[in-house]
Amino acid sequence: MVSFQDFSCPEYVKYIKMHELAIAENLVNIVKDVADGEKLSKVTKVTVCFGTMVQVVPDLFETAFRAAVDGTLACDALLDIETIPLRLRCNACNTVSEPDEYCFLCSKCGSADIEIETGRELFVKSIEGE
């Protein structure tokens, strides 16, 4: 497992950029496959959803996406990023909460017997084109 304490500041920034770039490159492959299947000549909009636990930085992802779509039929596509909040359900008292921080305890009873309902998602919501 990689610890961020193992990185100097420039290495950390490179690591984070690699995370966004890898996701963007995979997204472009999905966009190309869908465009081919739907016989699109141009992709005009791509909407992606990220759970907060995926830890995608929207500005970095936008930059990575622009680099990945350069020269493709999605080069001018609008990128819409939707963030899905972390939502926890307590198995002890059934309380649902959306913590501001990664605190995996029930906000009502303090139990650690929780389930993550949302916040780990990473998917393409829609691809629009002509």
pLDDT tens by residue, 53-100: 998 989 889 999 999 999 999 999 999 999 999 999 999 999 999 998
User: Quick check: helix, strand or coil at residue 95?
Assistant: coil
**Tokens describing residue 41:** 């000549």
Type of residue found at 8: S
CB atoms within 10 A of CB 40: 18
Q: Is the pTM of this model over 0.95?
A: no
Q: How far is 32 from 124, CA to CA, in rounded Å?
A: 13
Work out how many domains the chain is built from and give that number: 1
CATH of the domain at 44: 3.30.2320.80
- Whole domain around residue 52: which residue ranges? 4-129
